[in-house]
């Protein structure tokens, strides 16, 4: 079955809306490169549209009614939104679920050191990356430092025009004959992904007893001391404060329109913020719903959805229990019925066909840039291992809904059967017995520092999410 290019179906009004929407999206992924930054931005947006922190509703003692909109934030890294519908919660809800973490480098707890006149931050990579892709490119530092006195320092350095950037060095080509004989996985070792952050030594104190004493002072970790001096001056951060810091190393600079025709977006973190952005925007677009609409934007997916802010925690179930309690008389059996009767789009990316590496894909069952939203019936690899496999009836229902709103989609797998696959949060929600299918945007260069997507696919996915929330 040949899927048509989605660009050809848009009229002038839709093309204008597409450009406006993707401009907002480019701003979003340029400014929100960590989970915390995503949550802060989303909360600011949704509160303007009438969403209220659920904790305030609980404290007020009031009940929720149709038309009320609430949200819950966990540790500033995950957020769940809900638009209460007219149907009983026990009959199920419609769920959009994406993740807002992305592959990156994390700064270790004892990171700062000096080696032969260069100051470094030691890192540990997060998620699946090709390590060699992270060397020699401009990098930024984003995150927070929590101090002993309870204050928190926000760090965002490397994004503004006058900001310094940071980098990881690579061996020059003239001396790399041995390096180039290594397998790609070993060309750059994980422990070699250390960030160069300084080279200028701090000036020695002038009141030293002798010239030799002055030279000794200058030689001992003078560059590291210079970096610490800068951190103290501009951020009031001591070396010990790294112990309670969450600092993420990400590519510096804004996402860009790509191609002579400006038809694509090239930027960091599109897996999975390219699905998170249209998910929460679809929630804002649909004002009134018959069936309660829920949007989950979660953390830790790239490392197995573990931890208190990941999908494997009780985060989702706890919030749904609170919703049920605020809308009805809570009982465990009602909660179980609500979850089992729900429908979900696990909003995650899929691999786009890359002609340069055609042998890795099944051309008949792969997603293509510019051909619409991607439905992935199953992920997994080698016998669908670890996969949620959506049932035919659910797919048939979705086809009918999308046809009603002329949403173009394509059905795809991640790659050839025996080459491997990818994971999403789909199977974690399917355990409740609800209908779940992966649904998102096709991506080139997935998990690279700069990923590529089609503007038309982003817009069509947004339209698809609106259709699901409105009609399911």
Q: What is the pLDDT of residue 213?
A: 62
Q: Is the pLDDT of residue 127 over 60?
A: yes
Average pLDDT, the chain: 93
State how far the Cα of 248 lies from the Cα of 141, in Å rounded to an integer.
Answer: 6
> What does DSSP assign to residue 310?
B
Residue 191, helix vs strand vs coil: helix
Residue with tokens 């996402």: 255
Q: What is the pLDDT of residue 372?
A: 96
The Cα diameter of the chain in Å comes to 85
Task: Kindly report which listed range (355-364, 371-380, 401-410, 434-443) carries the lowest average pLDDT score.
Answer: 371-380
State how far the Cα of 327 lies from the Cα of 338, in Å rounded to an integer.
Answer: 12
State how far the Cα of 397 lies from the Cα of 343, in Å rounded to an integer.
Answer: 11
Q: Is the pLDDT of residue 271 over 60?
A: yes
> What does DSSP assign to residue 404?
H
Q: What is the pLDDT of residue 216?
A: 59
Q: Which residues contact 11 (CB under 8 A, 6 or more apart)?
A: none
Instruction: Output phi, psi for 286, to 5 deg.
Output: -90, 110
Q: 188: how many CB neighbours lie within 10 A of its CB?
A: 20
Q: What is the pLDDT of residue 2?
A: 72
State how far the Cα of 133 lies from the Cα of 447, in Å rounded to an integer.
Answer: 10
Task: Kindly report which listed range (15-19, 165-169, 301-305, 461-465) carries the lowest average pLDDT score.
Answer: 301-305
Q: What is the pLDDT of residues 201-258, one digit of tens each?
A: 998 765 555 666 655 555 689 999 999 999 999 999 999 999 999 999 999 999 999 9
Q: What is the pLDDT of residue 217?
A: 53
Stretch 284-297: mean pLDDT: 96
Q: Which residues contact 369 (CB under 8 A, 6 or more apart)?
A: 264, 352, 353, 442, 444, 452, 453, 454, 457
Residue with tokens 């179930």: 317
Q: What is the pLDDT of residue 218?
A: 58
Q: What domains, with CATH codes, occur in the chain?
A: 6-102+268-471 (3.40.630.10), 104-251 (2.30.250.10)
Q: What is the pLDDT of residue 254?
A: 97
- Neighbouring-strand partners of residue 97: 296, 346
Cis bond before residue 345 (omega within 30° of 0): no
């Amino acid at each position: 079955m040949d899927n048509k290019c989605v660009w050809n179906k848009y009229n002038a009004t839709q093309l204008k809306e597409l450009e406006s929407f993707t401009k907002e999206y480019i701003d979003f992924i340029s400014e929100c490169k960590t989970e915390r930054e995503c949550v802060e931005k989303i909360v600011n947006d949704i509160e303007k549209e009438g969403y209220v922190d659920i904790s305030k509703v609980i404290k007020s003692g009031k009940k929720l009614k149709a038309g009320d909109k609430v949200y819950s934030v966990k540790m500033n890294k995950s957020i769940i939104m809900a638009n209460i519908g007219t149907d009983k919660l026990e009959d199920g809800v419609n769920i959009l679920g994406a993740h807002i973490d992305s592959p990156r480098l994390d700064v270790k707890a004892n990171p700062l050191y000096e080696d032969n006149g260069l100051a470094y931050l030691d890192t540990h990579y997060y998620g699946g990356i090709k390590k060699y892709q992270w060397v020699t490119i401009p990098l930024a530092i984003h995150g927070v430092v929590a101090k002993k006195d309870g204050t928190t320092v926000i760090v965002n350095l490397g994004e503004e025009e006058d900001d310094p950037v940071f980098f990881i060095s690579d061996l020059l080509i003239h001396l790399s004959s041995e390096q180039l004989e290594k397998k790609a996985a070993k060309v750059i070792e994980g422990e070699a992904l250390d960030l160069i952050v300084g080279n200028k030594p701090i000036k020695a104190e002038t009141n030293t007893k002798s010239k030799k004493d002055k030279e000794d002072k200058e030689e001992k970790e003078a560059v590291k001391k210079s970096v610490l001096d800068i951190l103290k001056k501009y951020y009031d951060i001591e070396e010990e404060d790294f112990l309670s810091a969450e600092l993420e190393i990400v590519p510096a600079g804004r996402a860009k329109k790509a191609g002579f025709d400006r038809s694509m977006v090239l930027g960091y973190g599109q897996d999975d913020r390219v699905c998170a952005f249209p998910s929460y925007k679809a929630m804002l677009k649909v004002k009134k719903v018959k069936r309660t609409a829920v949007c989950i934007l979660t953390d830790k997916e790239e490392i197995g959805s573990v931890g208190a802010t990941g999908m494997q925690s009780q985060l989702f179930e706890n919030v749904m229990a609170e919703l049920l309690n605020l809308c009805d008389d809570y009982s465990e059996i009602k909660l179980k019925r609500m979850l089992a009767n729900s429908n979900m789009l696990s909003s995650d990316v899929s691999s786009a066909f890359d002609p340069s590496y055609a042998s890795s894909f099944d051309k008949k069952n792969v997603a293509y840039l510019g051909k619409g939203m991607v439905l992935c019936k199953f992920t997994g690899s080698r016998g669908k291992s670890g996969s949620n496999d959506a049932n035919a009836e659910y797919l048939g229902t979705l086809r009918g809904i999308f046809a009603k709103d002329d949403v173009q989609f394509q059905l795809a797998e991640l790659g050839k059967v025996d080459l491997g696959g990818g994971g999403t949060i789909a199977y974690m929600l399917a355990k409740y017995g609800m209908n779940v299918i992966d649904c998102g945007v096709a991506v080139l260069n997935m998990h690279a520092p700069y990923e590529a997507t089609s503007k038309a696919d982003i817009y069509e996915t947004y339209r698809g999410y609106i259709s699901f929330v409105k009609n399911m």
